[in-house]
Chain A
Amino acid sequence: MTGISNDSVWITIQEMPLSLEEVSEFLRVEEAGGVDIFLGTTRRWTETEEKAAGGKTVRRETVLLEYECYKPMALKEMHRLVDEAFARWPVRRACLLHRIGEVSLREISVIAGVAAPHRADAFTACRYLIDTLKTRAPIWKKEHFVDGNARWVEGDSAPEPFSSPDTM
């Protein structure tokens, strides 16, 4: 299973660069008057407050991001998110594409796109796709810094109805 695609849904995880042009072509359909596309890209500078530095703001320089995933489960989760978006909003087309491996500065690691009759639903559904992907899809990024250091980014955990004993 490398990806899922039908007339209205396009989901993939790939090492090849992602194409904004193909996404735009896919999303612009006659049923939609609003198309919202989110791009996640590799950022060069990250400012963080470091406890070790007494809460001072530290600016780190990234040279590339490296992505790893549990591919069959990530695809399954991405498909589920898109299904949820279709169920909640009048979505006509949606795509969720993620790149894995090394992603250099300014390059695109993720594209979430939604086509809907009107812009409000396109914005809302697109935001839902990217926000929930970041908490549920088993994908991880490692930041490689200019000084040769690297670290796995500790991301957001989903709210956990599953693993909390008091909800069982």
Chain B
Amino acid sequence: MGDKKLQSVQVLLFSVIREQAGIDATTLHLDPGEAVSAGALLERLAATYPAIRPMLPLVRIAVNREYVPREHIVRAGDEVALITPVSGG
């Protein structure tokens, strides 16, 4: 079980994209040694949840609670969050 967790990435969704996907979190599995960019991970997610695809151009990605570029390589154990344009305040 521990090995499985080491090869997976937790993805968090909030607000409008959470409602479109119908989930607030999901787990994506990586093959051993697989290197995936944050952008590619988004594509993989959109294949499963096509309703989110129109929003992807607006999404900023955070990995381990920091904004990252789409080229950023996601590693097993990372926490990835999809940040649609924020509207706090």
Contacts and interface: CB of A to CB of B under 8 A. Distances in A.
Decide whether A and B assemble into one complex. Answer: yes
Interface of A: 40, 67-70, 72-74, 76, 98, 109-110, 130, 133-142, 152-158, 160, 162-165, 168
Contact of B84 (A98, A135, A140, A162): A140
A165 B71 contact: yes
Interface in B46-61: 58, 60-61
B81 A140 contact: no
Interface residues of B, number: 24
Given A70-B12, A73-B65, A140-B15, A155 B70 contact: no
B36 interface: no
A152 B84 CA distance: 10
Nearest to B71: A168
Contacts of A73: 62, 65-66, 81
Nearest to B65: A73
Contacts of A155: 85-88
B89 interface: yes
Given A68-B15, A70-B81, A137 B68 contact: no
Given A68-B15, A138-B81, A163 B70 contact: yes
B68 A70 contact: no
Interface of B: 12, 14-16, 19, 58, 60-62, 65-71, 81, 83-89
Contacts of A139: 86-89
A23 to B, nearest CB: 16
B14 A109 contact: no
A69 B86 CA distance: 9
A139 to B, nearest CB: 3
A157 B34 CA distance: 31
25 contacts: A40-B89, A70-B62, A70-B65, A73-B66, A98-B88, A110-B88, A130-B89, A134-B86, A134-B89, A138-B14, A138-B88, A139-B89, A140-B84, A140-B86, A141-B88, A152-B19, A152-B87, A153-B87, A154-B87, A157-B85, A157-B86, A158-B60, A163-B67, A163-B68, A168-B71
B89 A163 contact: no
Contacts of A70: 12, 14, 62, 65, 81, 83
Contacts of A160: 60
A6 B60 CA distance: 31
